[in-house]
Amino acid sequence: MAVKGAVLGDILGSQYEFNRPKKLDWKNVPLINTTAMGFTDDTVMMMAIKKAIIEEADLVDTMVEVGRKYPHCGYGCRFFVWINGKVHRPYNSWGNGSAMRVAFVGEYYDDYNEMQEMAKKTAEVSHNHPEGIKGAVVTATCIWMAKHGKSKQEIYDYVAQEYPKSKYEYSIEYSLDEIRPRYKWNESCQGSVPAAIRCFYESTDYESFIRNIYSLKCDSDTFGAIAGGVAEEFFHGFGNVDAEGVLESYLDDYLLAILKR
């Protein structure tokens, strides 16, 4: 399940979102730090979208319903207002929030066009800037490609087409070795999606994917949420990572019930 990989990526990445040591030994540091990890708004909104799709419910109503249950899970300022206000209009955002919540779409829909259309819909309710929509569509498409047996090179080629290095500072065309010295924490889709997928592209299993994220001074929980579903689908699981143990330990009963549906 791609959505499991995305939620796990959120949880494992959360410990370094704002508290990454300057000289983190990312190749050897334990993946699980019980004092610093937890689910974030990424997981909450992923579960909201999954709930809406499965129940054929209104997307905005469900996002608001689920989102209000977790007022302190890390929403950005404008999205916090969107969740808690009386009016829920899109606000032209290009933030990576549209990409971090879309994993279930890439997993659920077999039809390519239907998947892309739904990915667009999940973005444009709030993140209706072209880059916000693109981030969601590209993320869902990469998950769909991995699920349908596409190669790493095919996934790479698709992302490179969408985020060419001639236009994007953190294009997937740049290696992690090239990105690490200059990457700065970035909450935009254009600064997150191609770099997160590069973390997958250079990985050999789910654990090495997570460690690639740790190697960057990035929005690490959201990187995990964006590309965690791609990694899970491509590698057909989590290898030696105790995914079920982490999910059972860190999700509450409400979110875990949605995840298991």
Bridge partners of 10? Answer: none
User: What is the arithmetic mean of pLDDT over 44-57?
Assistant: 98
Residue 35 has pLDDT above 80, yes or no: no
Where do the H-state alpha helices sit in the chain?
2-14, 41-55, 59-67, 77-84, 97-100, 103-108, 112-124, 130-147, 152-162, 176-179, 189-201, 206-214, 220-235, 243-250, 253-259
Token pair of 216 as six digits: 């960057």
Alpha-carbon distance of 12 to 174, in angstroms, equals: 24
Q: Which residues are annotated as a binding site for Mg(2+)?
A: 40-42, 219, 221-222
Structure tokens at 48: 């909201």
CA dist 140 and 103 (Å) reads 6
What's the whole-number mean pLDDT along residues 222-228? Answer: 98
CA distances from 234 to 145, 153, 173, 183 (A): 9, 12, 20, 26
Q: CA of 12: how far to CAs of 70, 130, 247, in Å?
A: 19, 29, 10
pLDDT of residue 142: 98
Reported confidence tier of residue 18, pLDDT bands at 50, 70, 90: confident
pLDDT score at 33: 79
- What average pLDDT does this structure show over 60-76? 97
Q: Which two tokens stand for residue 4?
A: 């499991």
Q: What is the mean pLDDT of residues 140-151?
A: 98
The answer to whether the beta carbons of residues 249 and 11 sit under 8 Å apart is no
Average pLDDT of span 6-16: 96
Q: What is the mean pLDDT of residues 39-56?
A: 98
pLDDT band at 105; cut points 50, 70, 90: very high
Residue 34, pLDDT above cutoff 80: no
Residue positions forming the annotated binding site: 40-42, 219, 221-222
pLDDT reported for residue 102: 98
The mean pLDDT value for 143-165 works out to 98
Assess whether pLDDT exceeds 90 at residue 147: yes
The CATH number linked to 186 is 1.10.4080.10
How large is the average pLDDT for residues 139-156? 98
CB neighbourhood size of 36 (10 A): 11
pLDDT at 60: 98
Nearest residue to 72 via CA among 41, 35, 34, 47: 41
For position 247, what pLDDT does the model report? 97
How far apart are the C-alpha atoms of 193 and 61, rounded to whole Å? 26
Q: What percentage of the chain carries pLDDT values higher than 90?
A: 95
Report the number of distinct structural domains present in the chain: 1
Look up tokens 């979102």; give the residue.
Answer: 17
- Expressed as residue numbers, the domain containing 211 is 2-259
Q: What is the pTM of this model?
A: 0.97
Instruction: Say what the pLDDT of residue 10 is.
Output: 98
Provide the pLDDT for residue 36.
81
- With vertex at residue 66, the alpha carbon angle to CA 185 and CA 80, rounded to the nearest 5 degrees, is 45
The Cα 213–Cα 230 span in angstroms is 14
Q: What is the DSSP string of 53-99?
A: HHHT--HHHHHHHHHTT-TTS---HHHHHHHHSS--------BTHHH
Confidence label for 22 from pLDDT (cuts 50, 70 and 90): confident
Average pLDDT value for residue range 2-25? 94
* Residues 82, 243: Cα–Cα separation, whole Å: 32
Residue with tokens 């740049």: 174
Q: Span 46-53, mean pLDDT?
A: 98
Question: Cα Rg for the chain, rounded, in angstroms?
Answer: 16
160-182 average pLDDT score? 98
